[in-house]
Amino acid sequence: MKKKDIVIAVSLAIMVIAISSALYAGGIIIITPPYKVRDLAKNFLRYSYNPWNGKLTSYALNVVSAIIWDYRGLDTVLETAVLYSAVIGITVLFRGIVEIRGLKHRGLSLLVKMPSRIVIPLIIAVGISLAVHGHLTPGGGFQAGAVATVTPALIITIFSIEALYVLKLRIQKLFLMRTIAFIGILMISISLFLYSLMSLTNAYVLQNMIREHSNISMPHWFIDVPLAGSVFLYNILEFFTVFAGLTYVFIVYSMRRKEVENMWEEVETYE
Partner 1 sequence: MFLPAIILLIFAFLSIVVTYLAIVERDMLVAAIFMAFQGVCYAIIYYVLMAPDVTLAYIPISSGLTPILILIVLKKTERVER
80/176 Cα distance (integer angstroms): 16
Residues contacting residue 152 through CB under 8 Å, at least 6 positions apart: 164, 169, 247, 250, 251
Q: By CB under 8 A, tell whether 90 contacts partner 1.
A: no
Helix (H, G, I), strand (E, B) or coil at 147: helix
Q: By CB under 8 A, tell whether 12 contacts partner 1.
A: yes
Beta bridge pairs of residue 226: 221
> Over the Cα atoms of the chain, what is R_g?
23
Q: How far is CA 36 from CA 25, 40, 43, in A?
A: 21, 12, 14
Number of residues in the chain: 271
Q: Which of 88, 97, 150, 190 binds partner 1 (CB under 8 A)?
A: 150
191/184 Cα distance (integer angstroms): 10
Site string for partner 1, 229-248 (x = CB under 8 A): -----------------x--
Q: Which of 56, 88, 153, 210 binds partner 1 (CB under 8 A)?
A: 153
Q: Which of 59, 184, 250, 259 binds partner 1 (CB under 8 A)?
A: 250
* Shortest spacing between CB 202 and partner 1, in angstroms: 33
* Shortest spacing between CB 54 and partner 1, in angstroms: 26
Q: By CB under 8 A, tell whether 23 contacts partner 1.
A: yes
90/178 Cα distance (integer angstroms): 14
Q: Measured from the CB atom, is 116 or 202 closer to partner 1?
A: 116
Q: Which of 75, 253, 264, 266 binds partner 1 (CB under 8 A)?
A: 253
Q: Which of 50, 116, 129, 157 binds partner 1 (CB under 8 A)?
A: 157
Q: Which of 1, 2, 3, 33 binds partner 1 (CB under 8 A)?
A: 33
Q: Measured from the CB atom, is 192 or 232 closer to partner 1?
A: 232
Q: Which stretch binds partner 1 (CB under 8 A): 14-22, 113-121, 185-193, 227-235?
A: 14-22
Instruction: Write phi, then psi, for 50 (nearest 5 degrees).
Output: -150, 75
Helix (H, G, I), strand (E, B) or coil at 129: helix
Q: By CB under 8 A, tell whether 64 contacts partner 1.
A: yes
* Shortest spacing between CB 11 and partner 1, in angstroms: 5
For CA atoms 259, 260, 263, 265, the dihedral sign is negative
Query: Do the Cβ atoms of 159 and 228 come closer than 8 Å?
Result: no
| 2 C-beta neighbours (distance < 10 Å), count | 6
Q: By CB under 8 A, tell whether 112 contacts partner 1.
A: no
For CA atoms 48, 209, 243, 179, the dihedral sign is negative
Q: Measured from the CB atom, is 131 or 203 closer to partner 1?
A: 131
Q: Which residues of the chain form contacts with partner 1 (CB under 8 A)?
A: 4, 7-8, 11-12, 14-15, 18-19, 21-23, 25, 29-31, 33, 62, 64, 130, 138-140, 142-143, 146-147, 149-150, 153-154, 156-157, 246, 250, 253-254
